[in-house]
Amino acid sequence: MEARSKVKKRLEDLRSQRWLAPDNTRSFAHRQRLQQMGLRREEFMSRPVIAIVNTWSDLSPCHAHLRERAEAVKRGILQAGGMPFELPAMSLGEVLVKPTTMLYRNFLAMEVEELLRSLPIDGAVLLGGCDKTVPGLLMGAFSANLPCIFVPAGPMLNDRYRGEKVGAGTHTRKFWDEKQAGHLSGKEWIVLESHMSRTPGTCNTMGTASTMTLIAEAMGLTLPNAASIPAMDSAHTRMASESGARIVEMVWEDLKPSSFFNEKSVLNGVAAYMAIGGSTNAAIHLIAIAGRGNVSLTLDDIQRLGKGVPVLANVLPSGSNLMEDFYYAGGLPALLRRVHDRLSLNSMTVNGRTLGDNLEGAQCEDDEVVRPLARPVSEAGALAVLRGNLAPAGAVIKPSGASGKFSKHSGRALVFDSMVDLNARINDPELDVDENTVLVLRNGGPLGGPGMPEWGNLPIPKKLLEKGVRDMVRISDARMSGTHYGTCVLHVAPESAAGGPLALIRTGDVIDLDVAAGRLDVQLSDEELEQRRSQWKPDVKKPPRGYTKLFLEHVTQANEGCDFDFLAGWHEPVEPPIY
């Protein structure tokens, strides 16, 4: 095996040997129980034990194929001389999980960390892809600090409707707006249900799933070009098998996250984030992942590291293509070659080579899908950080997905206290609203949601859709699906439920947005805001028990990554005693 030249561990050094090797009654019981499952002693006594952490679920369409991919991973592990064990973990498929998968990201991270800590595991293959599974798996694995490799679930295949390429997420909102405006019949709407998600796999736009898997690849946590392979492509199965073989080598090499993940890895992740035109959700997840990997990262750091990197991936919602097209165009390696001067090319990756080594020979096959620097999809950027008296700790906006005419805007606020309030009033024909109104939704943050749901892409009032309006300035302390678009200011911090200024806004107040200046302000004096604050009372309804109670007591704000205060940052893993 080629990697044996890099071997740092002997059999007796393997973590699993603490459980299996000693000649005592406890280890006798461990070996006995493994043989109870039909395993031969030789299968686990002389091989690294590899966990396949699988977020497959019958109710997670993005991951419907991961049971099959786990078998491919096992094949690779066995061929490389390891012993695989599949471990199920909470499956956080978007859309069906309520109130939001973000509520459970930290739950998954805790589960992964404790799975790897509590069992005789030497290394782990992490199977996921849908939005929160990527940061959840990585956060937990980083905290456990065992050799790990990520296997992205891959995007679904494209479909077509009346000659137009269609996919999940972005087109849902586009077609819904047309239906609301009276341009799409109910029959067509039903037909579209079967056209927009035709195979297993994650959203095939540059939503949060593809954003996070591509960032993971850029940070060196997957095999090269793994993140853009369509879920149903045979190359995806081969990549899974290769990942299984590679993790065995990583165990012998003792290639743990702490031995290669650093500030340079994060720099590469941020550069990729900007160049792909990624989801605003990544701003939260990157801060949390970096923290678990012993790298301090702030919103200002993300903006600084990504400044000047144009959007080159011509993929919805910033562009016009889908992830299958991005794969055929050369995937992330082709794109990274075009921003190579913004990368740390000597950064190590899970295949034991540097990022620069992995990019050698990569070339673009379609300049319309992966644009050259001279002809970017957008120079506006994938993320801008805003501050002001309405967002003292920061807010974010995706300029490449927003309307340029609203990049500097003043408008009268129309405030909604909750999604219930919004849904009850937004389509009222008598609603006092026009295109210049600023829609404001509060109580959608980590505490207020709870869990910070994807409510930030507030719907355009029906009366305005009928007049041809397709964008407005919208502000909230919630998140927005990475598949969505529009002039949406998100993640306002501190959130309203924590007493942030958003809690003090009233309908009729004038709000100023200036993206170029990085400002978000309400035209109120400090004295007026303080007077209103003296009248404000918190209204977070804390549940009496369970995980949500734990979440509300310990979650941090959006600008801090929404991790738990007792898990955030780097902690040296503590090995369990074996009695």
pLDDT tens figures, 108-147 = 999 999 999 999 999 999 999 999 999 999 999 999 999 9
Give how far Cα 472 sits from Cα of 267, 297, 390, 509, 528, Å: 33, 31, 18, 16, 27
> What residues does 415 pair with on adjacent strands?
440
pLDDT tens-digit readout, 194-240: 878 889 999 999 999 999 999 999 999 999 999 999 999 999 999 99
Over range 534-557, report the average pLDDT. 92
Pick the range with the lowest mean pLDDT from 47-51, 321-325, 408-412, 542-546. Answer: 542-546
d(CA 342, CA 50): 35
The model's pTM is 0.96
d(CA 371, CA 329): 10
Peptide bond before residue 453 is cis, with ω within 30 degrees of 0 = no
pLDDT tens-digit readout, 478-503: 999 998 999 999 999 999 999 999 99
d(CA 149, CA 126): 6
Q: How many CB atoms lie within 10 A of CB 128?
A: 34
d(CA 226, CA 579): 41
d(CA 83, CA 85): 7
CA torsion sign, 478 to 481 to 482 to 487? Answer: negative
Q: How many CB atoms lie within 10 A of CB 188?
A: 14
Residue 163, pLDDT > 90, answer: no
Residues comprising the chain, all counted? 579
Percent share of the chain, pLDDT over 70: 99
Over range 557-575, report the average pLDDT. 95
pLDDT tens-digit readout, 339-388: 999 999 999 999 999 999 999 999 999 999 999 999 999 989 999 999 99
Which domains does the chain possess?
47-157+199-359 (3.40.50.2300), 164-189 (no CATH), 384-541 (3.50.30.80)
Instruction: Report which of 575, 394, 412, 393 is spatially closest to residue 507, judged by C-alpha positions.
Output: 412
d(CA 453, CA 102): 7
Place of tokens 């679904």: 156
* pLDDT at res. 3: 42
CA torsion sign, 383 to 158 to 237 to 3? Answer: negative
DSSP state of 348: B
CA 350 to chain centre: 20
d(CA 422, CA 414): 10
* pLDDT at res. 2: 44
* pLDDT at res. 289: 98
Residue 1, pLDDT > 50, answer: no
Over range 551-578, report the average pLDDT. 95
